[in-house]
Structure 1
Amino acid sequence: MKKPSPTEREALLIALLTQLFSGEITEGKLLRTLRKELLNMSQTEYAALVGVSRRTLSDVERDTGSPTLAVLNAIFKPFGLRAGLLPRSPTLMKKMLAGEMPGVVE
């Protein structure tokens, strides 16, 4: 499998995050796709890289269990991502992503 270029990596990450924020995919599906498409690593290899058990990684990818914020941050860190707070309302999320939040200071 050919390793994606930095531009391809960024495009995939943006596309997947857009799908995540719009509710089309889950965090587990995002992680699984990033692990396989960007790193071409098995669960065992990736779990060792980020310091979690393979079972924990599998549970996160299947959207089961209740991982801690520390675990989520560890498993998403290689992709430049961290766990955070996002609006539950799809309408509010769309407004936020479109920059339509008046009075919000960055």
Structure 2
Amino acid sequence: MKKPSPSEREALLISLLMQLFTGEITEGQLLRTLRKDLLNMSQTDCAALVKVSRRTLSDVERDIGSPSLNVLNAIFRPFGLKAGLLPRNPALMKKLLAEDINSHSS
């Protein structure tokens, strides 16, 4: 599999984050796609990279368990991401995103 260019990586990351923010995908689906499409790594290799067990990584990808913020930050760090607070309500998230886009375009 060809390694994506920096601009392709950024475009994929932005697209996936928008899908996450609008509720189209879960955090686990985001992680699995990033691991496979950006890192081109197995769960075992990725888990070793971020220093968590393969089981923990698998649980996060399957959206089960309750990983700590430290674990989530370790797992998402290779993608330039960190855990944070976001609105749970999809309508509020869309409004927040729309306001952010409008504030950057003016």
What band does the TM-score fall into relative to the shorter chain?
A: over 0.9
Q: Provide the secondary structure at the position in 1 that maps to 2:99.
A: coil
Distance 2:85 2:78 in 1: 20
Gaps of at least 5 residues in structure 1 are 101-106
Equivalent residue for 1:57? 57
1:99 alignment partner, SS class: helix
Displacement of 1:44 in angstroms is 0.3
Structure 2 gap segments, 5+ residues each: 101-106
Q: Which amino acid aligns with 1:79?
A: F
Aligned length: 100
How does the TM-score come out when normalised to structure 2? 0.92
CA RMSD of aligned residues (A): 0.8
Amino acid in structure 2 at the alignment position of 1:52: V
Q: How many percent of aligned residue pairs carry the same amino acid?
A: 81
* 2:33 equivalent in structure 1: 33
1:17 maps to a residue whose letter is L
The Cα offsets for residues 14-52 of structure 1, whole Å up to 9 and x where unpaired, read as 000000011010000000000000010000000000000
CA distance, structure 2, for counterparts of residue 21 and residue 71 of structure 1: 20
Report whether the alignment pairs 1:11 with 2:11: yes
Structure 1's consecutive aligned runs of 4 or more residues displaced over 2 angstroms after TM superposition are none
Aligned to 1:84: 84
Q: Does 1:69 align with 2:69?
A: yes
Residue 25 of structure 1 aligns to which amino acid in structure 2? I
